[in-house]
Chains A and B, each alone.
Chain A
């Protein structure tokens, strides 16, 4: 401080920093005040037992139980159930195809959103279908179906090995092969690259829609955690997160002219991250389908995924058309995009929580969608037109190709 009169404003506008200590304190108080008031009111309301709106206590409890997972072991059927309703629920009897079977449960009464495991002793027969009915203490029933009984895989080293192998087959290898289109892309004319870009956008658009629908399907019929809402929230969050990442990248490349968009390499990374998030969800779906015995492993599934996912590699390298990337970079991109399938398969086979998987599907959809949006400016031809017969055709072919190959892997 050099001036003798420190309190004097340095310029005409009122200086906020001058009175900072007391002002900041009062600002925080003003922010917290309503919260304190709400807490006080809640306390009083609870203490006085909701004056004026207390029920007569005769409300009939509503029972809402969902069966989240079904597992079979020799002589045993194991269900994970969750109470999605407001009222507590007790399971009193378990009926397997019109037979009251012996069972144990981890919790006698499930409070709101609580989950429990029911282990049923029943001599089920390989390949037979079963209908399980849980009878609650009020006589209400909750159904679960086993389409064809088969032993659920044990969670041992061979299981995790298999899941990892599955992830490699459906994620890493196809994308790795797809990356081998790099030389082809590099030698293609600009028009061709635009067409391929269109194809990539079509592919990503398909994945966005597909992941959203798959996520919604998983949580159809459950509302406890918001149902389909979590898919859209996941998508929005992922979209915004990737926008944020992009902002960081753009700031790093301060040299880039404003409005020019991302450098090709960053774009390739973004695509790889988006596809990686998508493949995490896909891996989860595959792992959990296998874990509950509803997935037939075999050549058909793996071949289907290989064809379906190989084009994802193409999508990653297309923005790099004008570059000469090193092999190391390509390997890294391939792993970012494909390896999450391994993690997903292992996780999905171990813990299956439909709401979590649906959220991840939403995240995948948002991530892939964000990349698709970023690619749109790259469709511009010399005249500045984006949708030419070539690019529009590319998009349609991309959508159609993914649709057709998607039919191969209807798991």
Chain B
């Protein structure tokens, strides 16, 4: 075989390599393009002026950005129909009232509806949703609260709401048990007490299960300990998901909070030194595991969030399907720091983003 010729500088080489820059250093000499190194992703210059697929992606001004992601930038939230930044800190505490016995009652209206999303520039995903969003609303309660989830199935397919938690069989949202599948047009109220505390999730349990979950029927379910936790300065939820768009046995796109590469173009804004608490939930289908890695920092990890003391101090954590946990960290320095699946395939297919730390 002929020796590998040093290729002329490629326009995109710097883009692909910003992620995991350390690993990319040996490749730098190969491509002979120093231009990528150290480029702040802030300057989103159109790097070669080639006309892209003639789609309108200018609204975020991210076209042809220097960092990894879709060459034309992620789909603007309003066009996509998903706003991962809004989902981050959107904890739905329900309609709160007090029961005669003094127990706090939280009630939610959840409706299953079909909806289309533009998950990648030009790619339309026909989603199944709770309340029209992927991921569904993050339901927040305190340990011991009485919960009533009024579920309406306004979609043409049967669905359920299956909560991870402790409850009776009838309230488990499993087909064939209790109310089982909720038929199109039907309603059902799931009723149970919030237990145990931790970072949980809910999802549809109708078969074929992988399809019903992967099309978008999932959401975070956070139960705060009765005594509370140390108040965080910034608390957020991150749901790791994927999109299998071609009906195969793998995902074409990956994301956090539903929109691939969104946090590359719209970094998660946090304050230097602030206590950041992240509820990390993996709902990925078709791939066995997912992971979360943060650059230039370490975090305390609370598996499933069910203990008050962390089990690990790390910068990378792995989760199987349905696995979740709580991360706590503080950013000691200002600047931009990547976070992404350390399975770089997922990262380069959408699951990567930035934290932007300011004073």
**Chain A interface residues toward B at CB < 8 A:** 74-75, 90-93, 95, 98-105, 108, 121-123, 125-127, 133, 135-141
Asked if B7 and A100 sit within 8 Å, CB to CB, the answer is no
User: Which of B124, B125, B252: most chain A CB closer than 10 A?
Assistant: B252
Report the minimal beta-carbon distance from A103 to chain B, rounded to whole angstroms: 7
Residue on A nearest B246 in the bound complex, by CB: A141
Asked if A102 and B11 sit within 8 Å, CB to CB, the answer is yes
> Taking the complex as formed, is B29 at the interface, i.e. its CB lies under 8 A from any CB of chain A?
no
Cα A274 to Cα B31 in complex, Å, equals 51
Q: Of B11, B69, B124, which one neighbours A138 at CB under 8 angstroms?
A: B124
* Given A98-B345, A104-B52, A92-B123 contact (CB < 8 Å): yes
Residue interface mask B106-129, A partner, CB < 8 A = 1: 000000000000001111110000
> Taking the complex as formed, is B304 at the interface, i.e. its CB lies under 8 A from any CB of chain A?
no
Residue on A nearest B15 in the bound complex, by CB: A102
Cα A122 to Cα B12 in complex, Å, equals 6
Q: Of B7, B53, B69, B72, which one neighbours A123 at CB under 8 angstroms?
A: B7
Which 5 pairs of residues, A with B, have the shortest CB-CB distance? A139-B245, A92-B122, A102-B71, A123-B10, A141-B246
> Taking the complex as formed, is B311 at the interface, i.e. its CB lies under 8 A from any CB of chain A?
no
Residues of A contacting B5 in the complex (Cβ-Cβ under 8 angstroms)? 126
Asked if A135 and B245 sit within 8 Å, CB to CB, the answer is yes
Residues of B contacting A104 in the complex (Cβ-Cβ under 8 angstroms)? 50-53
> Taking the complex as formed, is B243 at the interface, i.e. its CB lies under 8 A from any CB of chain A?
yes
Residues of A contacting B270 in the complex (Cβ-Cβ under 8 angstroms)? none
Residues of B contacting A140 in the complex (Cβ-Cβ under 8 angstroms)? 245-246
Interface residues of B in 300-317 (CB under 8 A from A): none
The number of A-B residue pairs with CB atoms under 8 Å apart is 105
Interface residues on B, range: 35 or more
Residues of B contacting A121 in the complex (Cβ-Cβ under 8 angstroms)? 10-12, 48, 50, 71
Residues of A contacting B54 in the complex (Cβ-Cβ under 8 angstroms)? 108
Interface residues of B in 1-60 (CB under 8 A from A): 1-2, 4-5, 7-8, 10-13, 15-16, 30-31, 48, 50-54
Report the minimal beta-carbon distance from A34 to chain B, rounded to whole angstroms: 45
Report the minimal beta-carbon distance from A88 to chain B, rounded to whole angstroms: 14
Asked if A139 and B125 sit within 8 Å, CB to CB, the answer is yes
Cα A39 to Cα B10 in complex, Å, equals 56
Asked if B246 and A100 sit within 8 Å, CB to CB, the answer is no
What would 29 A/B residue contacts be, using CB atoms closer than 8 Å? A75-B8, A91-B53, A92-B121, A92-B122, A93-B70, A93-B121, A95-B252, A95-B349, A98-B348, A101-B71, A102-B11, A102-B71, A104-B50, A104-B51, A108-B54, A122-B10, A123-B7, A123-B10, A123-B13, A127-B2, A127-B4, A135-B245, A135-B246, A136-B123, A137-B122, A137-B124, A139-B252, A141-B245, A141-B248
Cα A101 to Cα B10 in complex, Å, equals 12
Report the minimal beta-carbon distance from A308 to chain B, rounded to whole angstroms: 27
Q: Of B52, B120, B348, B350, which one neighbours A102 at CB under 8 angstroms?
A: B52
Cα A67 to Cα B4 in complex, Å, equals 27
Residue on A nearest B17 in the bound complex, by CB: A123
Residues of B contacting A101 in the complex (Cβ-Cβ under 8 angstroms)? 12, 71
Asked if B1 and A127 sit within 8 Å, CB to CB, the answer is yes
Residues of B contacting A100 in the complex (Cβ-Cβ under 8 angstroms)? 69-71, 120, 348-350
Residues of A contacting B30 in the complex (Cβ-Cβ under 8 angstroms)? 125
Report the minimal beta-carbon distance from B180 to chain A, rounded to whole angstroms: 29
Asked if B124 and A102 sit within 8 Å, CB to CB, the answer is no
Residue on A nearest B69 in the bound complex, by CB: A100
Residue interface mask B334-359, A partner, CB < 8 A = 1: 00000000000100111000000000
Residues of B contacting A141 in the complex (Cβ-Cβ under 8 angstroms)? 245-246, 248, 252
Cα A92 to Cα B245 in complex, Å, equals 12
Q: Of B4, B50, B53, B243, which one neighbours A139 at CB under 8 angstroms?
A: B243
* Given A74-B7, A98-B345, A140-B245, A92-B12 contact (CB < 8 Å): no
Extra contacts besides A99-B16, A123-B13, A137-B123 (16): CB < 8 Å:
A74-B10, A75-B11, A93-B70, A93-B120, A93-B123, A95-B252, A98-B349, A99-B348, A108-B54, A121-B12, A121-B71, A122-B10, A123-B7, A126-B2, A135-B120, A139-B123
